[in-house]
Amino acid sequence: MVKKGGEMGCDIRVDEDLKDVTGDIIARACFGSSFSKGKTIFSMIRDLLIAITRRSVLFRFNGFTDMVFGSKKHGDVNIDELEKKLDSSIWETVKEREMECVEGDKKDVMQLILAGAMRSCDGNLWDKSAYRRFVVDNCKNIYFAGHESTAVSVSWCLMFLALNPTWQNRIRDEILSSCKNGIPDEESIPNLKTVTMVVQETMRLYPPAPLVMREASADIRLGNLVVPKGVCIWTLIPTLHRDPEIWGADANEFKPERFSEGISKACKYPQLYIPFGLGPRQCLGKNFAMMEIKVLVSLIVSKFSFTLSPTYQHSPNYKLLVEPQPGVVIRVVGQ
């Protein structure tokens, strides 16, 4: 597409392509399969998310939707039926790999999940239905968490870089000086400080998920606030990440240099920077996701120059993920 565009370049909607890339990465790295094999699963997960998040964010979690609206059916989509089909598809993929994992031929997350589930089953701790539930739920979480959230973060990175070409140049210089043959590897990735700052600032302004929810397991006092047992506390991450009292008067501006000395010096209370959550329930895939985002951003910026397309419409959509609703369209030319 870029070659055909010549000197004028071409407009590309990158967010959909990035979902294909991150889908392939998570499928290969964690399950030993190609994206084409897991495409049906990804498609069903997407349909399920759309069905669940069709209503306002205040009415889409746990059993609250059922309590208020009395049904899990949204439009022409029945969430229960879709979830059953999704579980069956994942289980079929698991069964294809089960013997390989038992024999230890595969070294991936799927093997670890099955090995752990089988150890528990052998100890008479779980029945077969619980074994299947454990395996399917873990696979489902990994498919979801490692797929669209990463693609969305890279999409927002490219949007900001399209608006700030000087940061594209800084990244290219860094890659030339740090990466052998211009390809990031396990030795050079930790040295990509500029890329890291851009990613951190992007995830501050547009964190992958908009909410952190916790239920009080006992009565607790938070400062002057008393939270009774059973009350759910919803933390709006974008609000924390854009609070001028925490980040300064330029809290709404894209300034990666604020992370030049790390997260601890970037804001008043560094524990309030939570794109991956915080504490014992912090995202287990944090390091994998950060590595993946840095590699993708580095490779794209090193090969292409780009600006924001005149057709781009800025409309962040706050659902289960903070997504660019009409997509991210950039005008790309070759280096």
Nearest to 320 by CA among 242, 207, 228: 207
What percentage of the chain carries pLDDT values higher than 90?
47
Residue 64 confidence (pLDDT): 39
pLDDT band at 43 (very low <50, low <70, confident <90, very high): confident
pLDDT, tens only, 216-227: 999 999 889 999
User: Cα angle at 332 between 326 and 335, to 5 degrees?
Assistant: 155
pLDDT, tens only, 303-321: 999 999 999 999 998 888 8
pLDDT band at 328 (very low <50, low <70, confident <90, very high): very high
pLDDT, tens only, 250-259: 999 999 999 9
| pLDDT at 301 exceeding the cut of 70 | yes
Asked if the 14-206+290-303 domain carries CATH number 1.10.630.10, the reply is yes
Q: Where are the domains positioned within the chain?
A: 14-206+290-303
> Annotated binding residues, as ranges?
283
Residue 24 confidence (pLDDT): 84
Residue 245 confidence (pLDDT): 95
> Annotated binding residues for heme, as ranges?
283
Task: Give how far Cα 110 sits from Cα of 123, 130, 145, 307, Å.
Answer: 20, 17, 15, 40
| pLDDT at 62 exceeding the cut of 50 | no
Residue 121 confidence (pLDDT): 67
| Amino acid at the residue 153 | S
Residue 177 confidence (pLDDT): 93
